[in-house]
Amino acid sequence: MNSMDQMKNTRYANIIPMKELDTKEKRLYPFPIYDKLREETPVRYDKERACWDIFRYDDVHLVLKNPKLFSSRRSQGEKRESLLIMDPPKHTQMRNLVNKAFTPKVIQELEPRIAEITNGLLDEVIPNTRMDMVYDVAGPLPVIMIAELLGVPARDRQLFKAWSDVLVKGPEVNTDEAFTSVMAEKRQASDELSDYFKDILVQRRRKRENDLISLLLDAEIDGEKLSEEELLGFCILLLVAGNETTTNLIVNAIRYMTEDVPLQAHLRAHPELLPHAIEETLRFYPPIQAIGRIATRDVEIGGQKVEAGSQVISWVAAANRDGRKFAEAARFVPTRKPNPHLGFGFGIHFCLGAPLARLEARIVLGILLHRCIDIEREEGALLHPIQSPFVFGVTHFPVRFRT
Ligand code: HEM
């Protein structure tokens, strides 16, 4: 294995596209391919990406619920520390610090503000009876919310969006040139974000505010304050993790509702079903399609021997449609309950921002269905997938509607 392969293997296999998804058309609707892979090669080693791919629900579940066997520390030597790539006991300590800022009860209090921002964004575009779901509503809302929670100026949101876009990006094709160029872009975005947050930290050290950054500055683990790198890692993770993902959840829900127009009227008449429809969107059109881990010892998955040190990619988007787990797995069932989808992951790394993402989605979709009728995809509008193999979403989603 050359050094480039080694780097891909140990750190970045989940951002390299697999050969089965080599065109934009396939990435725009990858589910038939996931169905085939899940049924034909449920656990397979991909030489080109130097990683294992896991597609069935029970196997993915096993990987995610066993952090001792499958480590999140996939980027040893990464400059920035982040919750997402920590293992216990450090992960437990760091997660406890921020948990209290993200409980459903705390998040629920944001409801009026989320509604106010949503209505403000819609006021700008509703008179036109057309809008771009990504650009006009689903893109700005999560960025504004997380900026307000963290305590950074929401007016810088174009910058955050541009940085987040680059940080979730993967190479368009599996070549060393494409990989090197994307990695350089990512490094630059990460450095720029760091510099941005360093300035904010200087300001907050002088004067605390009622925000998450001030909370993190005062937090202690075993009597010790967080290091500068840990603080920066947290800020960047919170800004990026909750941004693109929530945008895609909202847009994917609307995308599905334009493919199943009667569902719009049904949900308008029964808003109490919205939370279930949102969970079903997380199962059926999950914004995060795959999650990476490293096997810490030799282990058997689905009858295959996976060696210690191997990169293991769990395909949540395939597992979520596994008929062994879900009845009518290939159908969007807006009333599905229970719905043990893996769209927010599972186990100790289960999405910290899930209550916020759920609330934002519920409020936006509720207001949208109330204010706009017969939302349809703009005729002739071409869709483009987001350039990242682990994200399921589109760059723009133009719609028309009646009021
Ligand atoms: C973790 C998905 C929104 C913050 C995760 C994981 C997934 C996920 C799959 C697990 C990753 C792993 O196991 O390695 C999503 C989706 C979202 C969303 C689909 C929107 C629909 C948010 C929001 C925030 C956020 C709004 C914050 C404001 C985090 C953090 C982690 C995480 C900090 C790491 C937790 C840990 O390692 O303990 N998310 N997320 N996410 N998410 Fe989200």
**Which amino acid, residue 203?**
Q
Domains defined along the chain, listed by start: 3-402 (1.10.630.10)
Which of 290, 296, 263 has the alpha carbon at shortest distance from 369? 263
Q: How far is CA 171 from the centre of its chain?
A: 18
Whose CA is closest to atom 5 on ligand 1?
Answer: 351
- Ligand 1 center–CA 1 separation, angstroms: 33
Taking the C-alpha atoms of residue 140 and residue 226, their distance in angstroms, rounded to an integer, is: 30
Judge whether 292 and 311 are in contact, CB under 8 Å: yes
| Residue 7 pLDDT level (bands cut at 50, 70, 90) | low
Strand, coil or helix: 85: helix
For the chain, helix, strand, coil in percent to 5 are 55, 10, 35
Q: Is the CB–ligand 1 distance for residue 141 below 6 Å?
A: no
Beta-bridge partners for 160: none
Q: Is the CB–ligand 1 distance for residue 194 below 6 Å?
A: no
| Res 183 pLDDT > 90 | no
| Residue 174 pLDDT level (bands cut at 50, 70, 90) | confident
- In this prediction, residues 221-228 reach a mean pLDDT of 88
Whose CA is closest to atom 39 on ligand 1?
Answer: 351
- Tell me which of 352, 359, 365 to substitute to probe ligand 1's pocket, judged by most ligand atoms within 8 Å of the beta carbon: 352
| Res 129 pLDDT > 90 | yes
Q: Is the CB–ligand 1 distance for residue 294 below 6 Å?
A: no
- Read off the tokens for 159: 């910058």
Measured CA angle at 339 (ends 280, 67), to 5 deg: 110
Whose CA is closest to atom 38 on ligand 1?
Answer: 349
- Read off the tokens for 1: 């294995």
Cβ of 154: how many Cβ atoms within 10 Å? Answer: 14
Judge whether 101 and 112 are in contact, CB under 8 Å: no
| Res 29 pLDDT > 90 | yes
Taking the C-alpha atoms of residue 11 and residue 328, their distance in angstroms, rounded to an integer, is: 36
DSSP 186: H
- Ligand 1 center–CA 21 separation, angstroms: 24
Whose CA is closest to atom 3 on ligand 1?
Answer: 242
Judge whether 59 and 340 are in contact, CB under 8 Å: no
Taking the C-alpha atoms of residue 270 and residue 253, their distance in angstroms, rounded to an integer, is: 16
- Ligand 1 center–CA 363 separation, angstroms: 19
Entry pTM: 0.94
DSSP 394: B
Q: Is the CB–ligand 1 distance for residue 363 below 6 Å?
A: no
Exposed e or buried b per residue across 325-362, where buried means at least 16 C-beta atoms within 10 angstroms of its C-beta:
bbeebeebbbebeebebbbbbbebbebbbbbbbbbbbb
**Which amino acid, residue 232?**
L
- Closest atom of ligand 1 to CA, residue 342: 9
| Residue 178 pLDDT level (bands cut at 50, 70, 90) | confident
- Ligand 1 center–CA 128 separation, angstroms: 34
Least confident of 100-109, 170-179, 379-388: 170-179
Report pLDDT for 76: 46
- In this prediction, residues 90-98 reach a mean pLDDT of 91
